[in-house]
Structure 1
Amino acid sequence: MKITSLHVYPIKGLRGISLPSTLLTPLGIPHDRTFMLFELKPDATLTKIQIDSHPRCARFWQEIIPSDSDSDQLAITFRDPDSPAPSEDTLTIPLTPALPDLSPITVSLHGSPAAAYRMPDAHATWFGARLGVPVVFVYLGDGRREVLGSTLRPPAAATPAPRGWLSSVTSYLGGSAEEEKPPAYLTFTDAGALLVTSEVSLHEINTTRLPADSPTGMFKFRPNVVVDGEGEEAWAEDFWGELEVGGTGDGRRNKVLLTGNCVRCMSLNVDYETGKMATGELGTVLKKLARDRRVDPGHRWSPVFGRYGFPVVGEGEGGGFVVGVGDEVMVTRRNEERTRWDWPGM
């Protein structure tokens, strides 16, 4: 197999950015889902803004603008499908905002809290005016979220522990396989540092479930790493446990451990051109997947497409390893049974 595309989503829920190559770190692709939008409710509570609940997210494009200094910029362009004439406007923000300039805020995603930072109100107002709801815009910064449950967590070797966890990791590595895994951490990604999908499985959807004139695109599944699936059958990834990606030239293996299935929601039915739920066949993708893809025994009401994973980054690797489109991918471990979802309450 080969990698056919790589994607990063600096602001969760908006359109992704394609990359020719990228560093993979214990937290995934740098800058992936490090910003997030929340709807501010009348009672002052915050609820996540994602494309399934706010389809107008599909009308925001993101672009990373490199700089000669350390101040790369993120440009977010909104294209209004409801305007009588083509209309778009752009907000530009630092890709890595200065934390002392921001106020701290604690937010929670899927029950896993994170200490984050509140972006300027002017930025939140810009998003709110285009989404039609009051918005709080946050940046994760040096914060992170813990992976909840146990089956979705990788072994300690895949995610170097933060300071203060050394003793627990040492205990884990010296203990039995039945002991509880140590903590693993995320940005605002849902349940894994990476999401890996296969073009073979997408082809199965488009050739057996949808009309030839209404194919769905891989972008709707919001992956980080897409492989062509050559030599594999559709849905073979359900059983992938470990991938080896590319070659380092010095004998080291670049590994990604796959720990859980990606269970799907109504986001698959969004029409990205209108920023609304799709009509016709493209509005039935989730239903057609649910027909026979509700295969995770821990989340039996939602269909599965893709696998969550964690890059394995060892000491002396500079915090990660580089992969690129066209790199070879090998399945180096297959599970005998599908993994079981156990994120509590999600």
Structure 2
Amino acid sequence: MKVTALWVYPVKGLRAIPLTSATLTPQGIAHDRTFVLCRRKEDGSLDKLQLAGHPECALFGQEIVDGTIRVRYHAPETPIVPRSPLHDETLAIPLTPDTAGLDMEDVNVHMSMVRAYKMGSKYDEWFTACFGFDTVLLYIGDQKRPILGTFSPKAAKPQKGWLSSVTSYVTGSNREEEKEGEDWLTFTDCAPYLIATEASLRNVRTRLESGEVDMVKFRPNIVVDGETQWDEDYWSELSLNGGAGFTLSKLCGRCTSVNVDYDTGRPAAGESGTVLKKLMADRRVDEGHKYSPVFGRYAFLTDGVHSSSISLGDEVGVTKRSEQRPVWDWPMKDPAAARFYEQRV
């Protein structure tokens, strides 16, 4: 198989940036989802903005130029918010901001908590003018989000026996090293990478009379051509250019974001607004996430790979398969499961 598309999303929820090559890190493609937008609720707390709940996120294009993320608002023909002069301005966000002196605030992304950096009023005012409600831009910086459930490949590894645990306690060794060895996230949902295939997209297109469904609707990082539709459900490990590549985690349950019209910033009208429903017929195949149809796989760099590169046309191979599909166990809506990276359970 070959890599056919690469995308990065520096500001979570906004339009993708297409790439021809990228740097791979344990936390995803470099700079992927290091920023998140939140709505300030009446009680003062923050609620993350994503396409499912706020389809107007699709109206924001972003690109990386000279160490900045340049964000533009594409006002739709039928306005969503009152006209503002700020709509014509391009917002420049430092790709790697200096966090010294920045205030911090807690944000909950699918029960995986983090205390992130507030970028400040200049950025908040621009996004507020475009969204029409009080909006806050946060940066992950040097902070980390925990991975819940068994989404991390390391979660499936056997735990230390009692003897090694006692030895570590007596010698005082390894505790911090072990903690640093944990997988962690930026503002990506549940894993550093989302991988999809052109073969499965072709299946989705056959479900619509128009045959028009763009891969961008599924928001993957890496797309490969694939050989057989839905074959990726059973992949366990992938090689990249003949070497170590990716360890596959869970299936990606889809939501109403696949129905969004990127031109209007609203749920799509007509057949384009039925993609999720079309998938419901036979793609609810995850026993742990039984009401969501599946498209794509969450992935991690294979253990021991700390950095790599990937380009369009690179070779990807399936080096390990599973006889059964993985089962979703991320406690997405359980308030009792919410925790920070430092507060391990």
**TM-score per shorter chain, which class?**
0.7 to 0.9
Look up the match of 1:238. 233
Q: Where does 1:206-245 land on structure 2 (aligned, <5 Å)?
A: 206-207=205-206, 209-211=207-209, 213-229=210-226, 232-245=227-240
Check conservation: 2:48, 2:107, Cα contact below 8 A: no
Cross-structure match for 2:177:
166
Q: 2-side partners of 1:82 and 1:111: how far apart?
A: 36
Contact persistence 1:123–1:137 (CA under 8 A): yes
User: What code does the residue aligned with 1:117 have?
Assistant: Y
Is 1:11 aligned to 2:11, yes or no? Answer: yes
| Match of residue 270 from structure 1 | 260
Instruction: Please state whether the residue corresponding to 1:149 is helix, strand or coil.
Output: coil
> Distance between the aligned counterparts of 2:25 and 2:91, measured in 1?
28
Is 1:333 aligned to 2:315, yes or no?
A: no
- Asked if 1 retains the 8 angstrom alpha-carbon contact of 2:246 and 2:302, the reply is yes
Deviation string, structure 1 residues 9-55 (Cα, Å, up to 9, x no partner): 00000001111111111101111000000110111121110111111
Corresponding residue number in structure 1 for 2:71: 76
Q: C-alpha displacement at 1:312, in angstroms?
A: 2.1
Equivalenced residue count is 311
2: distance between equivalents of 1:115 and 1:59?
Answer: 27
From the superposition, tell whether residues 339 and 313 of structure 1 become closer, same or farther in structure 2 (CA, over 3 Å).
closer
Distance in 2 separating the partners of 1:118 and 1:9: 19
* TM-score using structure 1 length: 0.86
* Aligned 8 A contact 1:14 1:61 in 2: yes
**What secondary structure does 2:232 align onto?**
helix
Residue type at the aligned position of 2:248: L
Question: What displacement does 1:164 show?
Answer: 4.7
Q: Distance in 1 between matches of 2:39 and 2:327?
A: 31
Correspondence for 1:344: 331
Contact 1:54 1:131 in 2 (8 A): no
Judge conservation of contact 1:145–1:187 (CA < 8 Å) in 2.
Answer: yes
Partner of 1:289, secondary structure, is helix
SS in 2 for 1:100: coil
| 1:294-332 CA distance string (max 9 Å, x none) | 000000000000000001252xx6x40111100000000
For structure 1, list consecutive stretches of 5 or more residues without a partner in the other structure: 67-71, 170-181, 248-252
The verdict on how the C-alpha distance between 1:167 and 1:83 changes in structure 2, with shifts beyond 3 A counting, is closer
CA distance in 1, matches of 2:77, 2:46: 27
For residues 273 and 88 of structure 2, the distance between their equivalents in structure 1, rounded to whole angstroms, comes to 26
Superimposed CA distance per residue, residues 41-100 of structure 1 (whole angstroms, 9 cap, x where no aligned partner): 11112111011111111110101002xxxxx11100111013689x74310111110010
State which of 246, 251, 265 in structure 2 corresponds to 1:261.
251
Alpha-carbon shift at residue 167 of structure 1 (Å): 4.5
Match of 2:152? Answer: 153
TM-score w.r.t. structure 2 length? 0.86
Question: Which amino acid in 2 is paired with 1:329?
Answer: V
- Secondary structure in 1 aligned to 2:100? helix
CA distance in 2, matches of 1:297, 1:51: 25
CA distance in 2, matches of 1:24, 1:73: 19
Q: Structure 2: where are the runs of 5+ without partners?
A: 158-173, 334-345
Preserved CA contact (<8 Å) 2:286 2:294: yes
State the Cα distance separating 1:214 from its structure 2 match. 4.8
**In the TM superposition, what are the counterparts of 1:101-112 in structure 2 within 5 Å?**
101-112=101-112
Is residue 2:307 matched to residue 1:320?
yes
SS at match of 2:89: strand
CA change 1:82–1:142 in 2 (3 A) is same
Using the TM superposition, give the Cα deviation of residue 133 of structure 1 relative to its aligned residue in structure 2, in angstroms: 1.5
Asked if 1:286 corresponds to 2:280, the answer is: no
Instruction: State the partner residue of 1:205.
Output: 204
Write out the 4+ residue segments of structure 1 that deviate beyond 2 Å after TM superposition: 82-85, 155-158, 163-169
Shift of residue 344, structure 1, vs aligned partner: 1.1
Q: Does 1:300 align with 2:290?
A: yes
Question: Does structure 1 conserve the Cα–Cα contact (< 8 Å) formed by 2:116 and 2:143?
Answer: yes
- Any conservation in 1 of the 2:78–2:264 contact (CA below 8 Å)? no
Q: Which amino acid aligns with 1:166?
A: E
**What one-letter code is carried by the residue in structure 2 that aligns with 1:92?**
A
Matches of 2:231 and 2:283, distance apart in 1: 12
Percent pairwise identity: 48
Counterpart Cα distance in 1 of 2:280 and 2:2: 28
| Shift, 1:121, TM fit | 1.4
Q: Could you tell me which amino acid in structure 2 is paired with residue 304 of structure 1?
A: V
Q: Displacement of 1:104 after TM fit?
A: 1.8
Contact 1:80 1:88 in 2 (8 A): no
* 8 A Cα contact 1:79 1:89, kept in partner: no
Question: In 1, Cα distance between the equivalents of 2:178 and 2:49?
Answer: 38
